[in-house]
Structure 1
């Protein structure tokens, strides 16, 4: 299986989908323990939630599971959140700090480097190429990085996660107009929401978000309670919840893209 699937559109919007993949090559799957084989920390059904929400969007989706290698981590292995608990480039545990590898089967540095070459790098080459492509057409590009996570994970955060978690690395990864549009549209849903809370943007958002160069990036982390029937196996999608959420996500994306056009127009005037 190819590590990345690309569906090209003609708008400035690129949707990044680094964690919806569930493919684990057999040689790696055989080293996972029973907990690891549940693939518990998948961004379940996120590709379905965003499918067809806004005309012209490009999607770049990793097919491999984050337990193979996490496409939203710094390939150097540096932590996204120094001083806070988190999982690494190749996770050793679930988000509940439960081991996922059979004893003695944890990947070593050579194996991590191999996975980075065969999975992480192709995903980011594709993502970068699509951002460059749409920027060449429009003069700017917007990366909206699509994520989800269980709403209660004490090892990572206290209490219940808001439904919408917007990340712009404290405003560094996009124009202020885009950040304000994302926040305003999210607030208008009436759901719980936060800007730059526990999830303020992963490596992808921070790496590609260069508003001074015309590349804008926003991460959206959805609490899985907003669209799953249950946050335990089999992690089924709740159709009614999903339909409501899709309408709200379409409004959020529309607001972001209007703001991006306004920001580009303002930049051109100057």
Structure 2
């Protein structure tokens, strides 16, 4: 199956965790169409992120995760952010061909992996791109939407935590080489400030260097699903890969277990926040 929701026996908290970029099942046809080897393609993968957050399931929250790789299809984009230079044939008129993400080679169907390394040896038929969107992208978002709606209906509000990783070379904090974690809330528009401020405090108290919104403010998922006025909150978390893995060999390093334990504590504490500010505004005003 291309993706799944790992659900607890009973959902006990109004949180949904999502790992859209941790997929590492590379289709044979994709590998054959690429001029890159699998190791190079995996540079864009959020390796182990779904496993690092596995503790949220026994805590009582569902965890959605992709099995297909981001380099093959990126569900953290609009459905039709497509670069016409990549394709053989005409894109549909509703395709967004001018977004900054498309310009950078990182649209719904990526043109490059990190460091602007071109993925494909030949242009892709437009029909192939549209097939991925219709058969994988749209069902993924439909399942995520259903999971969020069910949570919202049951608890009165819902918090989506969108889980990602970033290369250790990313510079984020002034005067420092890197941040350990970057929190993105679309500059305060995708979730209640109490959530992002609490997340910042919890992770900082655990000893991590935390940045907010720079350079990652949250992608399509955070922006699209975050509607705090309606009781729908979305927070993106980016974790420095150097904390938990060898980026050359793609194997866990000595910091993996500590980070996994800290994330378990973080999720438990975040889900225990007083919930009054998280309800829809109309309800909160009553």
Question: Which bracket does the TM-score occupy, shorter chain normalised?
Answer: 0.7 to 0.9
CA deviations on 1:105-162 (whole Å, 9 max, x unpaired) are x3243322111111111111111110011111101111001101211159xxx98441
1:37 offset after TM fit, Å? Answer: 5.5
Aligned to 1:7: 6
- Once the two structures are superposed, the pairs formed by residues 18-167 of structure 1 within 5 Å of their partners are 18-35=20-37, 38=40, 39-53=42-56, 55-77=59-81, 78=96, 85=104, 87-102=106-121, 104=122, 106-152=123-169, 160-167=177-184
TM-score, structure 1 normalization: 0.88
Structure showing greater Rg: 2
Count the aligned residue pairs.
261
Write the deviation string for residues 207-265 of structure 1: whole angstroms up to 9, x where unpaired.
Answer: 1001111111000011100100x211x31012x31121123222332333233624246
Distance (Å, rounded) in 1 between the aligned partners of 2:169 and 2:271: 31
User: Unaligned 5+ residue runs, structure 1?
Assistant: none
1:231 aligns with 2:285: no
Q: Measure the CA separation in 2 of the matches of 1:237 and 1:222.
A: 14
**Aligned position for 1:178:** 195
Q: Which has the higher contact order (CA 8 A, sep 6+)?
A: 1
Which stretch of the first structure deviates more once superposed, 26-35 or 170-179?
Answer: 26-35
CA shift, 1:192, in A, is 1.6
Structure 2: distance between partners of 1:260 and 1:108: 51
Between 1:254-263 and 1:109-118, the stretch displaced more is 254-263
Q: Match of 2:258?
A: 244
What is the SS of the residue equivalent to 1:258? Answer: coil
Whole-angstrom CA distance in 1 between matches of 2:109 and 2:101: 17
Q: Which residue does 2:86 correspond to in 1? A: none
TM-fit CA distance, 1:172: 0.5
Compute the RMSD of aligned alpha carbons.
2.5
Of 213, 236, 259, which residue of structure 2 is paired with 1:219? 236
What are the Cα deviations for residues 39-80 of structure 1, in whole angstroms up to 9, with x where unaligned?
221111111111124610101111111121111111131577
Structure 1 counterpart of 2:93: none
Give structure 2 stretches of 5+ with no counterpart.
82-95
Larger deviation: 79-88 or 143-152? 79-88
Q: TM-score, normalised by structure 2?
A: 0.83
Of 19-28 and 167-176, deviating more is 19-28
Query: Equivalent residue of 2:118, what SS?
Result: coil
Q: For the Cα contact (< 8 Å) 1:29–1:37, is it kept in 2?
A: no
Alpha carbons of structure 1 residues 260 and 120: separation in structure 2 relative to 1, 3 Å: farther
Q: CA deviation at 1:100?
A: 1.6
Q: Decide which moves more: 78-87 or 141-150.
A: 78-87
Q: Are residues 84 and 161 of structure 1, via their aligned partners in 2, closer, same or farther at CA, if it must alter by over 3 Å?
A: farther
